[in-house]
Chains A and B, each alone.
Chain A
Amino acid sequence: MSTWHPLCALSDIPANSGVAALVDGTQVAVVRTVDRTGREAIYALANFDPFSKAMVISRGIVGSKGDTPFIASPIYKQRFDLRSGACLDDASVSLPTFPVKIEGGRVAVQA
């Protein structure tokens, strides 16, 4: 069964951006959002961009479409729902997501 992997301090991830993590050989994009009311959220999804076939998702721009938080691939700009991994620009595409948590100011991901 998957285990929790400690990654980094929450403060290592600048607000409203992502970092890549290597978890047992799998690349995970970990994204931290802080909305305009100051509410924190953390998400983890695959770092693999199925459109460009490159490991780049963590380097995208974070934003919102309506109430949906997303990250946009830096290569061809497709947007992915941070919560579900679903691509907002192509319903047939979706990124795997991973359980992620903040504990004692540190981020851990399950993979």
Chain B
Amino acid sequence: MGTKTLVVIGNGMVGHKLLATLIERGEAMRWNIVTFCEEPRHAYDRVYLSSFFAGKSAQDLSLLPTPTFYEDHGITVHLGDKAIAVDRQHQVVTSAQGRTIPYDELVLATGSYPFVPPVPGKDATGTFVYRTIEDLEGMMAHAKTSKVGVVIGGGLLGLECASALKNMGLETHVVEFAPRLMAVQLDDGGGAMLKRKIEALGVKVHLNKNTTEIVKTPEGRIQKMVFADKSELPTDMIVFSAGIRPRDELPKEIGLTMGARGGVVVDDHCRTSDPHIFAIGEVALYKERIYGLVAPGYHMATVVADQLAGTSAPATFTGFDMSTKLKLLGVDVGSFGDAMGATPGCHVIGFSDSRAETYKKLVLSADKKTLLGGILVGDASAYGQLHQFMLNQVVMPAEPEALILPSSSGKPAGMGVECLPDAATICSCLNVTKGTICAAIDADNLTEVGQVKACTKAGTGCGSCVTLVKDLIKDTLKKKGITVTNHLCEHFRHSRQELYHLVRVQKIHTFDALLAQHGHGEGCEICKPAIASILASAWNEHVLKGPHRPLQDTNDRYLANIQRDGTYSVVPRVPAGEITPHQLIVLGQVASKYNLYTKITGGQRVDLFGARLEQLPPIWEELLAAGFESGHAYGKALRTVKSCVGSTWCRYGVQDSVAFAIEIENRYKGLRSPHKLKSAVSGCARECAEAQSKDFGIIATEKGYNLYVCGNGGMKPQHALLLASDLDGPTLLKYTDRFLMFYIRTADRLERTATWFNKLEGGLDYLKAVVIDDSLGLGAELEAEMQHIVDTYQDEWRTTVENPEARRHFRAFINSDAADPTVVMVSERGQVRPATWDEKASTLTTASI
């Protein structure tokens, strides 16, 4: 701990950035750091606040890499305590809870608060602002008894908030004082296209509306809004998002130089009029301007970190590029540089397409050589590139309109990421240059965005540069002579998705036919199982039917899971984990008879280990007789639908989760997919079945079921996302049919739903549109495909056991009935385990190996 004390007031995103920067540079050791945080929790990601509604928890949003991050680095945090006074003469901070902390340097990072216009009735029950997790919790609680929600303010944050209201199932309205949406970032054309698009999504937009009163019921709840033009809008809930104001009470009180309309004035080093007090983020006023985005706030934090560290060439803050790209209600919007075309003599190129619902505009310099700014609505895929062209003053081609025309008209040569200089800042949130990213890709042969994020931190802020990072990966690898293709393998110059399509459309039923028509060579260990899986997903023939058998990986070929010693494990299906005492006894008897090691699985089943090839059919004969069927633990297929005990027994349960899980497991059992599929049903919000870690998970509510998708446990845990709420059983199955078949159609080989989702352009909104709104018009087709799978289900083990020809393949040796002598078991904790190599070597003769 250092000898000098630094006090940081405020632990929002920017306050945290300062602390994290000091820790990273080893400055946390030199300083005794104390921070005050008025909110009851540490810094969290306000940029992704709306994901809280999609099921993210406060913990998910936390910016701290570990809960004890500050403590581990000797930083004292006073949560839920607010700094209320500063004695500048004696350099002491006093808090609401009576703490007095003397400081050497003080940083104000108090942020801002949402502006609430002084309208009569603004305090009615049901009015909210959109800033903290507590605000969101209040909104969620109130939404439960509401039908209509209104956002006052059609700016960036207001539209984000409208998205949240819509996701909560409310009839959503946006009321804006100005004549267009996002008046700061968009021109009339862009605003109009945005309005058209979000109205098509069911959000009603009211422009030129000045709210004069909020009328309350006698109980104090909101009844309706009244506007200056005498029109009215009945509503149950109102969220104010009419701009922000700096939280500047404290600096004002202690006499720091303030702006005329608030904000504490700072210089190029973010120093206030007191040399020992700095201000960063949305409380700071630089050249008459408050910077209400996270990236400039982060930059201010590094500027102050330089001052505190005494860096010899400290960074300065001299304004910030406020360009922005984001997705509002699923609509891509980008605005950069001189978006309005305010530069004298500039030229404007516009492209508007009401069929595709896109609006694009470029502003060129008077000499037409450089890009000054632009607007993109509906399709902002060119944003990263155009923004970089502007920042780096890249000379424009003769026909710059090609940069915004639909891609079918082709991109002009030489205008990709390769024409950016190495010094170009790709990630402005974390200040990472093209040179740094390319060097990392080159040095470590990175091929995925995730790896680049981990190595360079690029793309971990607002995420708008991720497409650019992708392009850089492709470009860098291309220069190294490595081509990145999505071809399945050397035998098929097609992606899995393309092959799936070919199989379906051309009604191809065998690997050999597909290879003959679309492949090369003889196939391999990559394409054979992948295509066997595609054939099974499409036609659902038995995986061991003649031509399919040699394609299968060993697990599918012997309908069991191979273990390290070459023996197999057997997992009978136990739908939803419900098992009779008799079945449990049979499992025990079979395990005893064949000397199998038994273990309870994570999916509420029993795994029997150590079966030799020739033992599998007789084992299954006994299991089938007791009513068991194949559990498909060996397949890239539906595994298990885990369940809690549900309302039948549990005093908290609200639905019969066991019965529903059994129904789901029986519906999808045997379904082959790009990778394994796991599911669970929880009978109440306590979530004992851990449905949110599954590929598709169901949580019962008072009104029905919530459907979560694309979760994952395992190596890279990921929470599932809420796809739809309060569904009845048949609707839930309909959505699940569509979701699973859409995944099976479009995923790569061995790609779990979580990874597939992370690559899905358009994310959750897109998936909702496809599954719920049937935006691709595929709903009926996907349902029919799934129904075919359900109708043609067969128990693979029953078919195999009953077929003498199929049983012939379960022999250790083609020329002998002997058992494999190299399978050796030893005893451990009352059961068997495979002998280690050393143990085996002492008992086997060299001839047998």
| A interacts with B | yes
- Measuring CB to CB, which residues of chain A are less than 8 angstroms from any residue of chain B? 5, 7-8, 12-17, 19-27, 30, 33, 35-36, 48, 52-56, 59-66, 69-70, 72, 74-75, 77, 79
Interface centre among A17, A54, A69, A72 (most CB of B within 10 A): A54
Chain B residues, Cβ within 8 Å of A13: 814
Tell whether, in the assembled complex, residue B845 and residue A7 are in contact, meaning their CB atoms are under 8 Å apart.
no
Chain B residues, Cβ within 8 Å of A35: 522
Interface centre among B528, B546, B849 (most CB of A within 10 A): B849
Tell whether, in the assembled complex, residue A20 and residue B813 are in contact, meaning their CB atoms are under 8 Å apart.
yes
| In the complex, residue of chain A having the shortest beta-carbon distance to the beta carbon of B820 | A55
Tell me if B515 counts as interface (CB < 8 A to partner A): yes
| In the complex, residue of chain A having the shortest beta-carbon distance to the beta carbon of B823 | A55
21 CB < 8 A contacts A-B:
A7-B815, A15-B550, A16-B522, A21-B813, A21-B815, A22-B815, A27-B820, A27-B849, A48-B849, A54-B566, A55-B849, A56-B566, A59-B557, A61-B524, A61-B529, A61-B550, A61-B553, A62-B522, A64-B523, A74-B554, A75-B562
Chain A residues, Cβ within 8 Å of B522: 16, 33, 35-36, 62-64, 69
Tell whether, in the assembled complex, residue B550 and residue A55 are in contact, meaning their CB atoms are under 8 Å apart.
no
Tell me if B414 counts as interface (CB < 8 A to partner A): no
Tell me if B512 counts as interface (CB < 8 A to partner A): yes
Tell whether, in the assembled complex, residue B525 and residue A61 are in contact, meaning their CB atoms are under 8 Å apart.
yes
**Minimum CB–CB distance for B434 against chain A, Å:** 35
Chain A residues, Cβ within 8 Å of B552: 61
Contact of A17 among B524, B527, B550 (CB under 8 A): B550
- Measuring CB to CB, which residues of chain B are less than 8 angstroms from any residue of chain A? 490-491, 512, 515-516, 521-525, 527-529, 546, 549-554, 557-558, 562, 564-566, 809, 812-816, 818, 820, 822, 837, 845, 847-849
**Minimum CB–CB distance for A106 against chain B, Å:** 11
| In the complex, residue of chain B having the shortest beta-carbon distance to the beta carbon of A57 | B566
Tell whether, in the assembled complex, residue B847 and residue A26 are in contact, meaning their CB atoms are under 8 Å apart.
yes
**8 closest Cβ contacts across the A-B interface?**
A63-B524, A74-B554, A54-B566, A64-B522, A72-B525, A17-B550, A19-B814, A61-B525
Contact of A25 among B529, B558, B565, B845 (CB under 8 A): B845
**Contacts A60-B525, A61-B529; is A22 near B566 (CB within 8 Å)?**
no
**Contacts A59-B557, A60-B525; is A14 near B549 (CB within 8 Å)?**
yes
Chain B residues, Cβ within 8 Å of A8: 814-815
Contact of B848 among A15, A19, A25, A75 (CB under 8 A): A25
Chain A residues, Cβ within 8 Å of B512: 36
Tell whether, in the assembled complex, residue B848 and residue A12 are in contact, meaning their CB atoms are under 8 Å apart.
no
Tell whether, in the assembled complex, residue B521 and residue A64 are in contact, meaning their CB atoms are under 8 Å apart.
yes
Chain B residues, Cβ within 8 Å of A69: 522
Contact of B550 among A7, A27, A36, A62 (CB under 8 A): A62
Chain A residues, Cβ within 8 Å of B847: 24-26
- If over half of A's interface residues share one DSSP class (helix, strand or loop), that class is named, otherwise mixed; here it is strand
Tell whether, in the assembled complex, residue A21 and residue B521 are in contact, meaning their CB atoms are under 8 Å apart.
no
| In the complex, residue of chain B having the shortest beta-carbon distance to the beta carbon of A49 | B566
Contact of B554 among A36, A60, A64, A66 (CB under 8 A): A60
| In the complex, residue of chain B having the shortest beta-carbon distance to the beta carbon of A32 | B550
**Contacts A36-B522, A75-B562; is A12 near B529 (CB within 8 Å)?**
no
**Contacts A12-B814, A14-B549, A20-B813; is A53 near B837 (CB within 8 Å)?**
yes
| In the complex, residue of chain B having the shortest beta-carbon distance to the beta carbon of A15 | B550
Tell whether, in the assembled complex, residue B564 and residue A52 are in contact, meaning their CB atoms are under 8 Å apart.
yes
Chain B residues, Cβ within 8 Å of A17: 549-550
Chain B residues, Cβ within 8 Å of A52: 564, 566
What separation, in Å, do the CA atoms of A7 and B816 have in the docked complex?
A: 9
What separation, in Å, do the CA atoms of A40 and B746 have in the docked complex?
A: 37
Chain A residues, Cβ within 8 Å of B815: 5, 7-8, 21-23
What separation, in Å, do the CA atoms of A24 and B821 have in the docked complex?
A: 13
Contact of A65 among B490, B516, B566, B820 (CB under 8 A): B490
Tell whether, in the assembled complex, residue A59 and residue B554 are in contact, meaning their CB atoms are under 8 Å apart.
yes
What separation, in Å, do the CA atoms of A24 and B815 have in the docked complex?
A: 11
Contact of A27 among B490, B521, B553, B848 (CB under 8 A): B848
Tell whether, in the assembled complex, residue A56 and residue B814 are in contact, meaning their CB atoms are under 8 Å apart.
no
**Minimum CB–CB distance for B564 against chain A, Å:** 6
What separation, in Å, do the CA atoms of A72 and B489 have in the docked complex?
A: 15
What separation, in Å, do the CA atoms of A93 and B315 have in the docked complex?
A: 57
**Minimum CB–CB distance for B815 against chain A, Å:** 5
Chain A residues, Cβ within 8 Å of B820: 20, 27, 55
| In the complex, residue of chain B having the shortest beta-carbon distance to the beta carbon of A18 | B550
Tell whether, in the assembled complex, residue B849 and residue A56 are in contact, meaning their CB atoms are under 8 Å apart.
no
**Minimum CB–CB distance for B635 against chain A, Å:** 15
What separation, in Å, do the CA atoms of A79 and B522 have in the docked complex?
A: 14
**Minimum CB–CB distance for B90 against chain A, Å:** 69
**Minimum CB–CB distance for A59 against chain B, Å:** 5
Interface centre among A21, A63, A64 (most CB of B within 10 A): A63
Tell whether, in the assembled complex, residue B550 and residue A14 are in contact, meaning their CB atoms are under 8 Å apart.
yes
Contact of B524 among A24, A30, A64 (CB under 8 A): A64
Chain A residues, Cβ within 8 Å of B557: 59
Chain B residues, Cβ within 8 Å of A21: 813-816
Contact of A20 among B523, B562, B814 (CB under 8 A): B814
Tell whether, in the assembled complex, residue A55 and residue B566 are in contact, meaning their CB atoms are under 8 Å apart.
yes
| In the complex, residue of chain B having the shortest beta-carbon distance to the beta carbon of A24 | B847
Tell whether, in the assembled complex, residue A77 and residue B525 are in contact, meaning their CB atoms are under 8 Å apart.
yes
Tell whether, in the assembled complex, residue A20 and residue B521 are in contact, meaning their CB atoms are under 8 Å apart.
no
What separation, in Å, do the CA atoms of A62 and B526 have in the docked complex?
A: 11
**Minimum CB–CB distance for A104 against chain B, Å:** 16
Tell whether, in the assembled complex, residue A22 and residue B816 are in contact, meaning their CB atoms are under 8 Å apart.
yes
Tell whether, in the assembled complex, residue B562 and residue A74 are in contact, meaning their CB atoms are under 8 Å apart.
yes
Chain A residues, Cβ within 8 Å of B565: 54
Chain B residues, Cβ within 8 Å of A70: 524
What separation, in Å, do the CA atoms of A94 and B163 have in the docked complex?
A: 61
| In the complex, residue of chain A having the shortest beta-carbon distance to the beta carbon of B532 | A61
Chain A residues, Cβ within 8 Å of B812: 20, 22
Tell whether, in the assembled complex, residue A22 and residue B528 are in contact, meaning their CB atoms are under 8 Å apart.
no
